[in-house]
Structure 1
């Protein structure tokens, strides 16, 4: 019996993830979710009572997926350059595997900013101070140009998010299939990694993994 309950709950959660990521809170209905799950509305309401309760679960899960991975990277005992490269990699992989996540976060930021801001504040207290100290020390040593942590994180997020926000337009305009877009995204990741590292770090060569030799291979 418990296994059946768990299976039904997971089916509802999976359907809710798909529908909310595609339509957001405002656009989604309980009927949409129940149809996606292959269940009737009464059964779905029995398990989760309301659309709000189900959305709260999906919203927190999706944001945790993004922010917890970022926090893990920020807390790693690695160099600042390695950390920035890993942050770019984390963002790209997260959005590549969940392409609707960008739009979902932006939509909910406009609809209910307080909920997202509270989660960001929690993440900030856990890891951002360590990253800021590491950045400021690199600036003091003359390794990195003077720049605030907020600008660094904005550079990373904006450059990684936009390619996935515009995925449908890019694929249509340049007649790409999914495989071609993934190749394009991987190339773009290398380009922005080089640009950000070269901008931040003063007269230091790129790591071998993203060197000029590798970049030339896509030209």
Structure 2
């Protein structure tokens, strides 16, 4: 009986993550989650009492999707140029696997910024990383252009993120199907890598 209870709770949490990503917090009802989980609303309310409590219980897992793997790459002992390429690859695959994740994170930043930033330690993830040290060392050695870490991360994130945020618009304007979009996105990823690395490592500092 204990196993069945745990299984039902896990099923509700998995369904909640899926529905919250698709519809956001405001667009999701407890009925939506119960339907996705294949349980009745009474059982869901028994476990979590409210939509807010259920959201709080899965929020960390949803953020983990966004940051999964990136910390390891930031602290990987590889050259800076190779690391930039891997970060772009990581973000590309993450948004490709979870196309609704970007909109969810942006929405939550506006809806409840305090909860978002209390759940994420940006100092530890970014500013105390090997990546940050490599960037600073390369600037001091005049091996790359002088640039703030915030700018380089924004260049990488935004140039990859927007292509998936704007998929519907891109496909509509250029009359692409899903397969054609995937090819287009791969080409875009290569261009982003070239654009950023050529800018940073060009001879004119």
Match of residue 189 from structure 1: 189
What is the 5 A alignment of 1:159-178? 159-178=159-178
Match of residue 59 from structure 2: 59
Deviations along 1:177-206, whole A, 9 cap, x unmatched?
2222211111111110110111111349xx
For 1:31 and 1:201, how far apart are their aligned partners in 2?
A: 53
Match of residue 136 from structure 1: 136
Bigger mean CA offset, 162-171 vs 2-11: 2-11
For 2:203 and 2:18, how far apart are their aligned partners in 1?
A: 46
The Cα shift of 1:26 comes to 1.2
TM-score by length of 1: 0.86
For 1:126 and 1:179, how far apart are their aligned partners in 2?
A: 35
Match of residue 211 from structure 1: none
TM-score by length of 2: 0.92
Match of residue 32 from structure 1: 32
What is the 5 A alignment of 1:19-168? 19-120=19-120, 122-130=121-129, 131-168=131-168
CA RMSD of aligned residues (A): 1.7
5+ residue gaps, structure 1, are 205-219
5+ residue gaps, structure 2, are none
For 1:87 and 1:203, how far apart are their aligned partners in 2?
A: 23
| Structure 1 moving runs of 4+ over 6 Å | none
For 1:133 and 1:146, how far apart are their aligned partners in 2?
A: 13
